[in-house]
Amino acid sequence: MDGTLDHVMMRVEDLEESLDWYQTHLNYEEKGRWEADTFTNVFLGPEDVHEDGALLELTYNHDGRSYEMGDAWGHIAVRVPEDALQESYDQLMAEGVEDYRDPESCGNRYAFVKDPDGHEIEIVKRDQGAKWSIDHTMIRVEDADEALGYWTRKFEYTEVPGRWEADTFANYFVAPEDAPEEAMKVELTYNYDGRSYEMGDAWGHLAVRVDDLDDAWETLLDREAPDYRDPASCDHEYAFTKDQDGHEIEVVVRD
């Protein structure tokens, strides 16, 4: 199983507004599109995204529905050079992006903004990968040991540098053992107070790339991953499982 993170999907209420936002402020370009009768999927990323870099999938449903953000999904994080956090943040502010958490309030280590639908976007200092490329996606988990075990057993991920143990929470980063540093990681956030989370529907899924869909699916079932949507139910183009908290994970072969 390859296991590289291929993309992260979020749902949007106004596709043209969202496309304009990501193309204007993060300099994303359209990498692919799927027009169906009831929805549209658009894949975005920087022009020079790494071959193992993750894309952002925007899903627009044609029926005009609205979405609940929930709190089981946290954010995507995008990269800027180590010495360019404040400059990049100031640029976004000058362009009219919503100010959520500025660098100073975050110890000048990172910052946060929001897109038109309220999805949180962290800006992190990284010298690897294209500017604005996706560094990680953060999800909240109710049992850290169970979550780490899930990614280790099901997808053969390992914990990578970045662990942060605080007084009230911990962050753990996982990725395939041999993933290049330009690839996206999963950040597992565990709060110590025993809270539970609402999934909402404004976030969709993480997608894991595999070499052979049917073989990977059989391996996942052997490892007791939930059978949510098998390849046959998805015309053998992809499949879906879920983690221990219900976050959806797509299994896909990238062309």
Q: Which residues are catalytic?
A: 122
Q: 176: Cβ–Cβ under 8 A, 6 or more apart, which residues?
A: 2, 3, 4, 155, 156, 157, 158, 183
Contact 130, 79 (CB under 8 A): yes
Distance CA 103, CA 119 (A): 18
Contact 189, 169 (CB under 8 A): yes
Contact 51, 31 (CB under 8 A): no
Using the Cα atoms of residue 102, residue 104, residue 107 and residue 110 in order, give the sign of their dihedral.
positive
End-to-end CA distance of the chain: 16
Q: 86: Cβ–Cβ under 8 A, 6 or more apart, which residues?
A: 103, 108
CA angle 210, 211, 217 (to 5 degrees): 55
CA angle 220, 212, 55 (to 5 degrees): 90
Q: Which of 235, 220, 187 is nearest to 5 (CA)?
A: 187
